Amino acid sequence: MDFDLTEEQRLLADAARRFVRHDSPVARARRMREDARGWEPDVWRKMGELGWLGLSLPERAGGAGGSMVDVMVLLEALGAGLVPEPYIASAVLAAQAIRHAGDADQQSRWLAPMIEGRTSLALAWMEPARRYALRPEGTVARREGNGYRLDGRKIWVDNGHAADALVVSALAPDGPTLFVVPRSAQGLAVTRRRTIEEQPSAEVRLDAVRVGAEDRLGPEGSALPALERALDCAAAAAVAEGLGVAGAAFALTLAHLQTREQFGVKIGTFQVLQHRAVDMFVELEMLRSMAILAAVECENEHDDTRRGAVSAAKAQLSAGGRLVVQQAIQLHGGIGITDEHDVGLFFKRMTALAVLYGDETHHLERLAAQPSFLEGVDRPAPG
């Protein structure tokens, strides 16, 4: 398999790095922690003008018709700058759900303005005490006239506090179904919550929210395949962003080792610290390989192949990515645990990415459940 980037992808990476340097350095992410929205509409519109919000979305909806590898290239650069705009939540997770579940008219209606940066989206799928279960149980859709009544509660809805429309999973009479609910819908209540990285998320309550049949994505009972594919794309995107986060934390650490002095010498000359830096580099390169594989396979029509690649990458992010940022904190010493130093911001973002769209335990269990996991391994005879 050829892992070399195309010329267009290299240009995209260069443009994204310039954007981070000039428009969204880490200092901006630190400042946006105090903002109620957590991100800026003007920056979101600029990302739309650059064509970034529709990289992997179909041309018929206004997208670029590219791949998730293009998204990975972009997100690695955005992760290095801790860019706070809801790229994964809106342009990947919610957008992919609409892409895979909705028809052409629905894709044009909901995706086109988001791709232009005029609106943002969110996917409300997690429910209390359900961990990462895809099937909705507590959110119910009842038929009423020519439409539906939605009742229920969703938690940890990324960008739910700011989204112009929410894609909501609900249990309809014929099974799990996705609906698009405008933010202005009567009976929709959004409560802002704060995450570990001090960014806003949301709890969403639906109390007799009425939507039309045209707001239902696909036939009743058809939500789970589209929802799983959207979450796999989002998980792969989280690994790509985590690669950027880990790379930036590693670069900060190397710079610290090369400048900090103890006993009259640079601490980077101490062999034990060199060994730790090597361990960080190895985990970073493993994460890069897994991020590429997940980006390539997350759009694979073969479910087992897609699930295996995405879950393996997400598990590596949770373990290897966490090791990189933990070592970054340790090697910075006392200053590393202060809020004033940027290394702590990378640690918090990595911690959040590790649990988004499935934590290490969830993805290891999912990986182990794949038919190919024990292929070629001698199994004990029954009895």
- 163 vs 154: CA distance, rounded Å: 14
Give, for 252, the enclosing helix (H) or strand (E).
helix 223-259
Q: Quick one: pLDDT band at residue 205, thresholds 50, 70, 90?
A: very high
Judge whether residue 382 has pLDDT over 70. Answer: no
Q: How confident is the model at residue 375 (pLDDT cuts 50, 70, 90)?
A: low
Say if residue 379's pLDDT is above 70. no
Residue ranges with strand state E in 7-95: none
What's the pLDDT at 376? 52
pLDDT band at 383 (very low <50, low <70, confident <90, very high): very low
pLDDT at 1 over 70: no
Rounded to whole angstroms, how far apart are CA atoms 84 and 74? Answer: 14
Q: Summarize pLDDT for 284-336 with one digit per residue, the tens.
A: 999 999 999 999 999 999 999 999 999 999 999 999 999 999 999 999 999 99
Nearest residue to 321 via CA among 296, 346, 342: 346
What pLDDT, on the 0 to 100 scale, is given for residue 244? 98
Rounded mean pLDDT of 19-36?
Answer: 96
The total of other beta-carbon atoms located within 10 Å of residue 88's CB is 26
Q: According to the model, what pLDDT value does residue 372 have?
A: 74
342 Cα distance to chain centroid: 21
Structure tokens belonging to residue 165: 């429309």
Residue 32: closest CA among 89, 85, 91 = 85
pTM metric for this prediction: 0.95
- Region 30-55 average pLDDT: 97
Task: Compute the average pLDDT of residues 348-376.
Answer: 90
Under the banding of pLDDT at 50, 70 and 90, the label for residue 370 is confident
Say how far residue 224 (Cα) sits from the centre of its chain.
Answer: 19
Q: Is the pLDDT of residue 377 over 80?
A: no
Is a pLDDT exceeding 90 seen at residue 132?
A: yes
What value does the mean pLDDT of the chain take? 95
What pLDDT is stored for residue 380 in this prediction? 53
* Interval 230-257 mean pLDDT: 98
Return the structure tokens found at 128: 């209390």
Q: How many residues does the chain have?
A: 383
Mean pLDDT of 19-26: 97
- Domains of the chain, each with CATH number or no CATH: 7-118 (1.10.540.10), 123-219 (2.40.110.10), 224-368 (1.20.140.10)
Distance of alpha carbon 344 from alpha carbon 97, whole angstroms:
33
| Alpha-carbon separation of residue 2 from 123, 165, 282, 292, 293 (angstroms) | 33, 38, 21, 10, 11
Q: Are 309 and 372 in contact (CB under 8 A)?
A: no
Nearest partner of 184 among 103, 279, 119, 236, judged by Cα: 119
CB within 8 Å of 284: residues ≥ 6 apart: 243, 246, 247, 250, 320, 324
Q: What is the pLDDT of residue 381?
A: 54
Helix (H) or strand (E) holding 70: helix 68-80
Q: What is the mean pLDDT of residues 205-223?
A: 97
Residues 92-104 have a mean pLDDT of 97
